[in-house]
Amino acid sequence: MSLHALANATVLTPEGLRERHAVVLDGGRIDAVVPIADLPSGIAFDDLGGDTLVPGFIDVQVNGGGGVLFNDAPTVEAIEAIATAHRRFGTTGLLPTLISDDLDVVQRGIAAVDDAIAAGIPGVLGIHIEGPFLNRQRKGIHHASKIRLLDEDGLALVTSRTKGRTLVTLAPECTTPHMIAQLVEHGVIVAAGHTDGTYAEIREALDHGLSGFTHLFNAMSQLGSREPGAVGAALEDPAAWCGIILDGRHVSAVSLKLALRCKPADRFMLVTDAMPSVGSAEKSFMLQGRPVTVVDGVCVNEDGTLAGSDLDMAQAVRNAQALLGVDLATAVAMASVNPAAFLGLDGRQGRIAKGMSADLVQLDSSGAVARSWIAGR
C-alpha cells in the first residue's frame, strides 16, 4: 500500500511535542514521524493546518452513546452505534460496558462484542463487565436485584470470550482470592469497584491478580484514619491502575490532585462511564426501568443518584488540564497510552511512533476534535 502523510501538525510523540512535523502512514500502521522538510518527495499528504495530532483515546468504561445503552441492546448494531458516537470525541478504542444484569444479558453482550470484533467494527477492543459480582452496600445506580455472588457459572461465563480483552469489575470481599486468581489465569483483567472491602481484603486481592480500580473514590470504601479501605489500597500500590471520571462532579479535583501525589500519573486512566446521552441530543433515558436525566451536565435518577456520566473523552482530557493542572502530554497519556498498557495493548496502540496502529486524533486550538483515524482510516 502506498504511503500517505498527515502533515503540518504539532505531533505528540513519546519524546514530547514536535512542531511542524508529519506522521507517515503505511496502511493501518505508522511508518515514521518526521519534520515536514524530511517528507519523501511526491508523497500524498493531508495538511492539518498546524493543529495538534495526538494518539487516539481509549475508554475502558462506556455504557452507551448516541442514544443507545449497551444493557438494553447487547447487539453488534448497538456496539457500532456507541463506537460511532464516541469517535466524534476522539475515542478510537473502547470497551462496551455492561452494568449489573442477568447472566443471559451478559452472555449476549459477550457474544455481541465477539461478533463486532469479527466484523471489523472500528474501535472495539473487548468488553467491560461491571457487575453483577458487586457489594450491595456500594451498589450506586446498579440494581440490587441484579447483584449476585461470583460462582462457577459466572466464572465460566466471563471467561468465555474468544476475541478482544475482557475487563471484570467486582467487589473482592464478595468472592475469594482463589476465584480472582482463576479469572486472571483465564486472561481476564480484574478491577475492584462497587466494593466495601477492607484494606486487608483489597490487598489480598491485589496479591492474587487484581490490577485495577474502577472509578477511583466512587462506590468504594474510603481512606480513613484507622482503616485505609479500597482507596488506601489503590493509592498505596504503585502498580495498580486507577480509572477516574473527570467531569468535575464525580470526584473533587482536590482529592484527585492528592491521589496524583501518591503514585505516578502513568497509573491513572481517564474513563467516561458514558451513558446514551453522550453524542445524542436526547438528554434523558431509561436505565433498567428507572428514568435518568442529565442535570447540569450530570446523569442522575429521580432520587439524585449518579448514573454514569454525560462526559466524552475529549472533554475529560481538557478537564484534566483545567482541574488537575497537568500538561497536554500527561492528560493525553491518561486517555491513550495508560489505558492501552492497562489492557496489555501498549505494544501496538496508544502512542505515535513507528510500528504503532495509526489511531490518531486531530485537536484544534481549543482542544476539540477535528478529525480522527482508526488504523489509518
H and E: helices and strands count for the chain: 10, 20
Measured CA to CA, the distance from residue 112 to residue 127 in angstroms comes to 10
Angle at 134 between CA 103 and CA 296, to 5 degrees: 100
Contact between 270 and 334 under an 8 Å Cβ cutoff? The reply is yes
218 is in an annotated binding site: yes
* Catalytic residue flag (residue 273): yes
Measured CA to CA, the distance from residue 82 to residue 75 in angstroms comes to 11
Phi, psi for 141 (deg, rounded to 5): -80, -10
Strands 44-47 and 3-13: parallel
The set of cell numbers assigned to 188 is 481476564
219 is in an annotated binding site: yes
308 is in an annotated binding site: yes
141 is in an annotated binding site: yes
Strands 189-192 and 126-130: unpaired
Which residue in 273, 310, 312, 359 is the catalytic one?
Answer: 273
Measured CA to CA, the distance from residue 307 to residue 51 in angstroms comes to 35
Phi, psi for 105 (deg, rounded to 5): -70, -40
The alpha helices in 208-336, defined as continuous H runs, are 229-236, 253-262, 313-324, 328-335
194 is in an annotated binding site: yes
Residues annotated as binding site for substrate?
141, 218-219, 226, 250, 306-308
Residues annotated as binding site?
130, 141, 194, 215, 218-219, 226, 250, 306-308
Q: Which amino acids are annotated catalytic?
A: 273
Residues annotated as binding site for Zn(2+)?
130, 194, 215
